[in-house]
């Protein structure tokens, strides 16, 4: 698939060859979505289908997030602003009006002297995001300034949530962690991150031979077998002793304390 720089180069060459025929039929805008990468961090030829964000690790004071979708134009820069048109694809959109600020669709302009823009989509941290992911799908449509471009570059999607998934190991360890509150899960991720524990799983389970951390907990909840893990659990327990934390920040509920 053609990248943003290559598209810009093609535009320059085409326009230099026949500048008199340059019109809305031969210039267009496109979503310059990033390319996918492989396991080694190398760019692939395929672009990502959507941009994702989760509020799960954000402080409760964070109420919004702004996606920045790059937009490019297959054109030469001109000395005046040019508006382009973006619409929502209803059948692919699950976000409600209160979940995002649709006013961004009123500010789609390639500025004078520029060939790029950024569609800034502000999404809100609504309560429903605790239960599910929400999607917003966009499509670029032709207008008086820009014609229709490459079909595979005309759409973009953002997806967002505030879900904290309960790890599948929680039932085995619940007698040490208590109820699976999001605050407990998030703090455990911070404390028992990959690399914090120098040990690997050597006793059993699907994580055999892999480093121990929050997403690869010891297969057996035995302190004598995994003393380092339990040392980190004591750090977690002490954190909730030293800091008064309520589930969802609701002071009408009992504070969080580990068993």
Residue with tokens 């569609």: 119
Residue 154, SS3 per DSSP: coil
Contacts 24+ apart (CB under 8 A), 3-6: 3/35, 4/32, 4/70, 4/72, 4/116
- Give the tokens for residue 101: 């600020």
Would you state the pLDDT for residue 26? 67
Residue 229 DSSP symbol: H
Rg (CA), the chain: 25
Alpha carbons 8 and 5: distance in angstroms, whole number? 5
Residue 89, SS3 per DSSP: coil
Residues of the chain with CATH 2.60.40.2030: 4-161
- pLDDT of the chain along its 259 residues, tens only? 434 443 443 433 333 333 333 344 568 999 999 988 877 778 888 888 899 999 988 888 899 999 999 999 998 999 999 999 999 999 999 999 999 999 999 999 999 999 999 999 999 999 999 989 999 999 999 999 999 888 889 999 999 999 998 999 999 999 999 999 999 999 999 999 999 999 999 999 999 999 999 999 999 999 999 999 999 999 999 999 999 999 988 899 999 999 9
Q: Is the pTM of this model over 0.85?
A: no
Spatial CB neighbours of 252, under 8 Å, sequence gap ≥ 6: none
Query: Class of 4-161 per CATH?
Result: mainly beta
Cβ–Cβ < 8 Å for 142, 102: no
β-pair type (50-54, 155-161):
parallel
Which stretches of the chain are DSSP H helices? 4-17, 170-177, 182-191, 227-242
């Amino acid at each position: 698939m053609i990248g943003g720089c290559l598209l810009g180069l093609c535009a320059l060459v085409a326009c230099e060859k026949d500048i008199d025929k340059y019109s809305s039929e031969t210039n267009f805008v496109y979503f310059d979505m990033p390319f996918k990468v492989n396991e080694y961090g190398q760019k692939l030829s395929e672009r990502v289908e959507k941009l994702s964000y989760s509020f799960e690790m954000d402080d409760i004071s964070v109420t919004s997030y702004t996606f920045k979708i790059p937009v490019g134009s297959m054109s030469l820069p001109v000395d005046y602003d040019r508006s382009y048109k973006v619409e929502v694809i209803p059948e692919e959109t699950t976000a409600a009006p209160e979940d995002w600020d649709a006013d961004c669709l009123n500010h789609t302009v390639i500025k004078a002297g520029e060939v790029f823009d950024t569609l800034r989509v502000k999404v809100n941290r609504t309560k429903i995001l605790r239960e599910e992911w929400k999607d917003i799908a966009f499509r670029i449509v032709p207008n008086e300034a820009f014609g229709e471009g490459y079909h595979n570059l005309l759409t973009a999607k953002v997806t967002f949530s505030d879900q904290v998934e309960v790890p599948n190991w929680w039932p085995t360890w619940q007698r040490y962690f208590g109820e699976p509150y999001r605050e407990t899960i998030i703090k455990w991720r911070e404390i028992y991150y990959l690399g914090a524990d120098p040990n690997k799983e050597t006793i059993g389970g699907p994580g055999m031979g892999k480093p121990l951390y929050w997403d690869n907990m010891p297969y057996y909840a035995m302190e004598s077998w995994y003393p380092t893990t339990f040392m980190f659990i004591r750090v977690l327990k002490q954190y909730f002793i030293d800091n008064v934390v309520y589930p969802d920040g609701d002071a009408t509920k009992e504070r969080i304390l580990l068993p």
